Amino acid sequence: MNARTRSWSSGAWLLVAVVGLLSGTAHAQGPLPAPYREPFPAPSGSAPARTPGDGPELSAWLYTGVDFAGRQRQTDDTGTSRDRLDAAFTVGGRLELATSPYLAFGVFVDYLRLQYVVHMPPPMPPTTRDRASVIGLGVWVRVCIPVIIGGQQASIYLGLPIGLSAALAGAATGGQPSFGLLLGALAGGNVMLTEHVGVFLEAGLRVDRYQTEDDFEVLARQAWLQAVVHAGASLSF
């Protein structure tokens, strides 16, 4: 083997050694990271788009429904009476702030027109029926579990309304307003049709408690317990 052949052979072995060294270094370092991408494309010239569930989210909920299977209890100087309540149509709305995918706080307001039984003192007829416009206003707490339904984002939840109930009674009780406590519990589900619009259905119980005084200066404690069903739409901002 002449000098030129030995020189080419040495060069080839040196090239193989360098390639092997670079290959081993690349395997040790692992694959190169993929370029960073935003989870959702941002509009041209704007800040990066917000990822769903990233930070508090404000939403409005509007609903209509019915209160039914109600029971009325009235306690006064003559004793305690129990009567059935007629079904009542209701409308309402909520504004809530979701602090996480699992918890939301907010406020609510609702309205219903209720027919109830009034027990009258002698010499008046023992009972009569009256209508009251009932307005509820208070705070709302919702605990939810995110799920996927039919490929759409959704949630099942338990909501607790707590607040003030104002009953504006009719002529049978002199039209005197009564203020009391409203408590409830609602279980339901919400399905998002788009990124911002959803529909929901919920059902539960509601109780309104008052202390009333009519034109005859008769004091009475009233409690109205009703089953409720609501259906409506939600809009997130």
* Residue 47 DSSP one-character state: P
Residues 6+ apart with CB under 8 A from 31: none
The end-to-end CA distance of the chain, in Å, is: 82
User: What is residue 194's predicted lDDT score, i.e. its pLDDT?
Assistant: 94
Would you state the structure tokens that stand for residue 84, as one six-digit string? 């059935």
Would you list the domain boundaries of the chain?
57-236
Divide the 237 residues of the chain into consecutive groups of 10 and give the mean pLDDT of each group: 48 49 47 44 41 74 96 83 90 97 97 80 65 93 95 96 88 68 97 96 96 66 93 96
Burial status of residue 83 (CB atoms within 10 A of its CB: 0-12, 13-18, 19 or more): middle
Residues 6+ apart with CB under 8 A from 223: 72, 73, 74, 207, 208, 209, 210
User: What is residue 91's predicted lDDT score, i.e. its pLDDT?
Assistant: 98
Is pTM, for the whole model, over 0.85? Answer: no
Q: Going along the chain, which residue ranges are E strands?
A: 57-76, 79-85, 88-100, 103-119, 127-149, 152-169, 177-192, 197-213, 219-236
Would you state the structure tokens that stand for residue 102, as one six-digit string? 């699992």
pLDDT, tens digit, 9 for 90 and up, residues 168-198 = 876 555 557 789 999 999 999 999 999 999 9
Domain 57-236 has CATH 2.40.160.20: yes
The closest of 171, 172, 168, 152 to 210, measured between CA atoms, is 168
Would you state the structure tokens that stand for residue 182, as one six-digit string? 């409203």
Distance between CA atoms of residues 81 and 218, nearest Å: 15
DSSP helix/strand/coil, 154: strand
Q: Going along 77-126, which residue ranges are E strands?
A: 79-85, 88-100, 103-119
Burial status of residue 108 (CB atoms within 10 A of its CB: 0-12, 13-18, 19 or more): buried
User: What is residue 125's predicted lDDT score, i.e. its pLDDT?
Assistant: 59
User: What is residue 124's predicted lDDT score, i.e. its pLDDT?
Assistant: 61
User: What is residue 209's predicted lDDT score, i.e. its pLDDT?
Assistant: 92
Distance between CA atoms of residues 50 and 40, nearest Å: 8
User: What is residue 119's predicted lDDT score, i.e. its pLDDT?
Assistant: 65
Peptide bond into 177 cis (omega under 30): no
Largest CA distance in the chain: 138
User: What is residue 93's predicted lDDT score, i.e. its pLDDT?
Assistant: 98
Please answer whether residues 234 and 65 qualify as being in contact, where contact means their C-beta atoms are separated by less than 8 angstroms.
Answer: no
